[in-house]
A and B are shown apart, each in its own frame.
Chain A
Amino acid sequence: MLIAVGSLAAMGIALGGLLGIAARYLHVEEDPLENELMGLLPGSQCGQCGFVGCGQYAAALAHEHAPVNLCAPGGKSVIEALAKRLGVSADTSDHEEKGPEYALINEDLCIGCLRCIGECSTDAIVGAVKSVHTVLTENCHGCAKCFKICPTEAITMCKVPVTLGNWHWDKPHADAQH
């Protein structure tokens, strides 16, 4: 009896100790999940999710169960990718799918202050001091940071239009009753 209890206790202590040592020595400083999630996010640090940048949002996703549907420029595909990685169900119901957008500068209102250029994280705005700025539409990913900073409200966010090139059939709505 004593031998059994003793040996089990010894084994428990030894294995527990081993686990403790392993935890100490094999400790991973950087969270791989966080990095992976970071890779799924656009990385433009627009802050529309409410966090400072993509890194902070990724950390919140990994550790604080932040909702997966906060990334506006990423759209539905990013939500689904995050949900899949984290193994949660993507609740896209309260996520208002605005569709992709791009910024457009009203040339009559632009005063050439350069502020939007400073904000843009994809170098999608070109222009010089005191001259009208222009958005390179194909580089703009619709983070709307420029829209917020513009002092003259010269920037509007436009929906990327549906064209013959990107139109596709909707999911059939006529469906069986089950």
Chain B
Amino acid sequence: MMTYTDKSGPFTHAATSVSKTMNTVLLALVPATLFDIWLFGWPALFLFAITIGACMGAEALCLNWAGKPLKPTLCDGSAALTGWLLAMSLPPWAPWWIAVLGAVFAIPLAKHVFGGLGQNVFNPAMVARVALLVSFPVQMTLFVLPHPMFATGSPGFMEALSITFGTGTLDSMSAASALGFIKTELSRGVPVAESIKQVPSLMDLASGVRIGSMGETSAVLVLLGGLVLLARRIISWHIPVTVLGTLFIMGTLFNAVDPTRFTPGWFHLMSGATFLGAFFIATDYVTSPVSKQGQLVYGIGIGLLTWVIRTFAGYPEGMAFAVLLMNSLTPIIDQHFRPRMFGRTRKGQPLPLKGE
């Protein structure tokens, strides 16, 4: 009798797989997503479906061009996750072509140009968001007041179709997100301490009934999803804690110094898509460092950059830029922050014996 000896051990394997990981992440996003779809009605649902569909389609096309088998990569949920995260970072009533263009940026340009799954340097969803933001600043910053599904005044199914696939924008789409509002007010000379009174309260920000992209609202539900990921050990605490911690500390510190110029720490945490960024975007496996030490550095970097961009740069929201900037540093972080080898010093020399 012959058995296989083509492979060295181990001959047992944990019940881990890429698709299992991706599906858990998707599952952790479900509560927040459902809430957002309820909050912004049919157009949000359409946008959501179109983004994911376009990402999957783009993935299939790219795989086909590269002559790779479709099924394993298409079914592992990675493209769906990219689409999902992209959809959550778009204004909920954005037109269909924003979603499709986003998919084109995310999948072929940010992922397959580098060699497909696992090879990309930058987070595809964030590349797409940033590319859209700089290309179509009007459409990407037109946020809508919450229009809960089936509530009076909310668009019906047919009306929603015309919002997503039509051309005109509605009157109700002239609102800005909380971060954008404060930034605009600041540029008009209104101090933060004044303008912050006009944005929703901490509780409202947390519960999510407010203006913003899908991932920006429902901070609590996103946090809940993040905790699920932590509990399932899909992610470790290192990146989210350092991102949130750095952002909070910077905000609180500078707010204490000058409350008229700087927004407080809690506001940084609760506004923008901070939780989505910290738990779901920054923790993207492919584009973050592999060692825990590296992840700490990476997280602190994202927290700092986000705060700097939000506070000093021209864009009200900085998470996407911060993530992309730190993505570019990941290979260097990987080189310099690595675990200490057993029996060796940090420099790789054998540990000295006692008395040597």
Any A–B CB pair closer than 8 Å: yes
What is the bound-complex CA distance between A173 and B8, given in angstroms? 12
Residues of B near A172 (CB, < 8 A) are 7
What is the bound-complex CA distance between A15 and B7, given in angstroms? 65
- B201 proximal to A (CB < 8 A): no
- A25 proximal to B (CB < 8 A): no
Q: Which residue of A169, A174, A178 contacts B119 across the interface (Cβ within 8 Å)?
A: A178
Looking at chain B's contact residues, the main secondary structure is: loop
* B interface residue count range (under 10 / 10 to 19 / 20 to 34 / 35 or more): under 10
- B137 proximal to A (CB < 8 A): no
Closest 7 CB pairs of A and B: A177-B68, A169-B8, A178-B115, A178-B116, A177-B69, A178-B119, A172-B7
Looking at chain A's contact residues, the main secondary structure is: loop
Task: Give the A interface residue count (CB, 8 A).
Answer: 6
What is the bound-complex CA distance between A172 and B7, given in angstroms? 7
Residues of B near A177 (CB, < 8 A) are 68-69
Q: Determine which residue in A169, A172, A174, A177 has the highest number of CB atoms from chain B within 10 A of its CB, and name it.
A: A177
What is the bound-complex CA distance between A140 and B8, given in angstroms? 33
What is the bound-complex CA distance between A169 and B8, given in angstroms? 8
| Closest B residue by C-beta to A177 | B68
Q: B70 to chain A: closest CB distance in Å?
A: 11
| Closest A residue by C-beta to B73 | A177
Over the window 109-123 of chain B, the binary record of Cβ atoms lying under 8 Å from chain A Cβ atoms (1 yes, 0 no) is: 000000110110000
What is the bound-complex CA distance between A120 and B108, given in angstroms? 62
Residues of B near A169 (CB, < 8 A) are 8
What is the bound-complex CA distance between A177 and B74, given in angstroms? 14
What is the bound-complex CA distance between A177 and B70, given in angstroms? 11
Residues of B near A178 (CB, < 8 A) are 68, 115-116, 118-119
What is the bound-complex CA distance between A178 and B119, given in angstroms? 9
Q: Can you add 7 more A-B contacts, CB < 8 Å, to A172-B7, A178-B68, A178-B116?
A: A169-B8, A173-B6, A174-B6, A174-B7, A177-B68, A178-B118, A178-B119
- Which residues, 133 to 178 on A, are CB-close (under 8 Å) to B? 169, 172-174, 177-178
